Amino acid sequence: MKYTTLPNTDIKVSKICLGSMTWGNQNTEAEGHQQMDYAFDKGVNFIDTAELYPVPATAETSGRTSEIIGTWLKKSGNRDKVVIASKIAGGGDYTAHIRTTGFRPSAIKEAIDLELKRLQTDYIDLYQLHWPERDTNRFGVRNFKLDNEWKDNFNEILHSLDLEIKAGRIRNIGISNENSWGTMRYLEESKHHNLPRVATIQNAYSMLTRTFETDLAEVSLRENVGLLAYSPMAFGVLSGKYIKGTAEDNARLKLFPRFARYSGDKATEAANKYLKIAKDNNMSLAQMSLAFVSQRPFVTSTIIGATKLEQLKENIASIDIFLTDEVLKQIDAVHQVIPNPAP
């Protein structure tokens, strides 16, 4: 395994982060434990969860993923050997079953209270805002519309998180599904008011979605805010199984066809071209896709997720793949012709 540190901290994390959002829905508790056992044995010390998980989000399952991590932490005794990241859900109709109070101080306190109980721990290493509270371009939205109803509360949010850090309940903070303006606003508030500094940003990034590079990559590198890249395999599209028609009936996009963000004609065309590059260079498309993300200079850790142990083994093994300049040029050539086919 390869390691780095969370920016502006002394916390060592594996370059592969174990995603968990299928545990409690597509995966049982036993399967979740099996995945954590295997990943830990392979040197993965970084696990990401959220109060929302598993996905799709429902009132019946909300928080179940973190409970599975909690029982594993208790059973294994590995709490001091792993880095746990979690998230507070933002507003929206699909999270009203969790709360409708946004990121106000009482909501942040309540969310952390409940998550600590689920995880069976007394601290969370990295606590993230799952998506902006204001209505802005997130989850693939392209056309910006100004949210005139939202009132600026960056300072209030950071003050609330500062209290939680001082209480020892969280150690560091991060953001997710955020844009450049929001990221810089958090950084400016922390700089001018001696408030906690955002260490990471968790956004979608893959060969099919490289919009992070347009402006957030510069923010990441110049301001030292590390990307935790999620969906590096584009909901499994970059495994090649949907292209080749080998996806099983319980595959994510077959179970939940509404998650079609990466399934358009242009995305499929690009994925086919990437599959050819992988074949020509004696790699699986999955491993090339993950290696591409992990090698980017702004990526702190690549979040992988799997429903099958064999998938997990292949994904973790991608850390040993090094893409040459020639392969990267071939990937970029496809990107020039079909740029960001998935938003």
Q: Please, are residues 327 and 277 in contact by the beta-carbon 8 Å criterion?
A: yes
User: Do residues 105 and 157 lie in contact, with contact meaning Cβ atoms separated by under 8 Å?
Assistant: no
Q: Check whether 98 has a pLDDT greater than 90.
A: yes
Identify which of 177, 172, 168 has the alpha carbon closest to the alpha carbon of residue 129. 177
Please indicate, yes or no, if residue 116 is contained in any of the structural domains.
yes
Is residue 35 within 8 Å of residue 18, measured between CB atoms?
yes
Answer yes or no: is 330 within a domain: no
Element containing residue 173 per DSSP (H, E) = strand 170-176
- Dihedrals phi, psi of 194, to nearest 5 degrees: 55, 50
The answer on pLDDT for 234 being more than 70 is: yes
Maximum pairwise Cα distance, the chain: 55
Predicted pLDDT of residue 200: 98
Structural domain that includes position 156:
3-233+299-323
- Specify whether the CB–CB gap between 42 and 1 falls below 8 A: yes
pLDDT tier at 18 (50, 70, 90 boundaries)? very high
d(CA 194, CA 2): 33
* Residue 328 lies inside a defined structural domain of this protein: no
How many Cβ atoms sit within 10 Å of the Cβ of residue 232?
Answer: 28
pLDDT in tens, 260-289: 678 789 999 999 999 999 999 999 999 999
DSSP assignment letter at 177: S
257: pLDDT confidence band, cut at 50, 70 and 90?
low
Give every CB contact of residue 333 below 8 A, 6+ residues apart in sequence. Answer: none
Number of structural domains (the chain) is 1
Mean pLDDT for the stretch of residues 150-170: 97
Q: Is residue 183 part of a domain?
A: yes
Residue-averaged pLDDT of the chain: 93
- For residue 319, is it within any domain? yes
| pLDDT of res. 172 | 98
Q: How far apart are CA 19 and CA 217, in angstroms?
A: 22
With a pLDDT cut of 70, the percent of the chain lying above it is 95
The yes-or-no answer on residue 53 being catalytic is: yes
Asked, for residue 40, whether it belongs to a domain, the answer is yes
Residue 85, CB half-sphere, CA atoms under 13 Å: how many? 29
Distances in whole angstroms, Cα of residue 58 to Cα of each of 45, 94, 105, 107, 118? 28, 8, 24, 19, 17
In the predicted model, is pLDDT for residue 244 greater than 90? Answer: no
Examine the pLDDT at 158 and tell me if it is beyond 80. Answer: yes
Which residue out of 3, 53, 94, 262 is catalytically annotated?
53
Check residues 109 and 94 and name the one with the higher pLDDT: 109
Instruction: Give CA–CA dist 69/78, Å, rounded.
Output: 11
Judged on CB neighbours under 10 Å (0-12, 13-18, 19+), 284 is: middle
| Residue at 212 is within a domain | yes
CATH of the domain at 9: 3.20.20.100
Measured over the CA atoms of residue 50, residue 55, residue 60 and residue 64, the dihedral's sign is negative
Domain annotation covers residue 143 = yes
User: 248 falls in which pLDDT band (50, 70, 90)?
Assistant: low
**Higher-confidence position of 110 and 242:** 110
> What are the helix (H) ranges across the chain?
29-41, 64-76, 105-119, 154-166, 180-193, 216-223, 241-244, 252-255, 265-280, 285-294, 309-317, 325-337
- Residue-wise pLDDT tens digits, 117-149: 999 999 999 999 999 999 887 777 778 888 888
In which residue are the tokens 């689920």 written?
Answer: 118
| Spatial distance between the Cα atoms of 239 and 311, rounded to a whole number of angstroms | 9
Q: What angle do CA 54, 57, 63 make, to 5 degrees?
A: 50
pLDDT bracket for residue 97 (50, 70, 90): very high
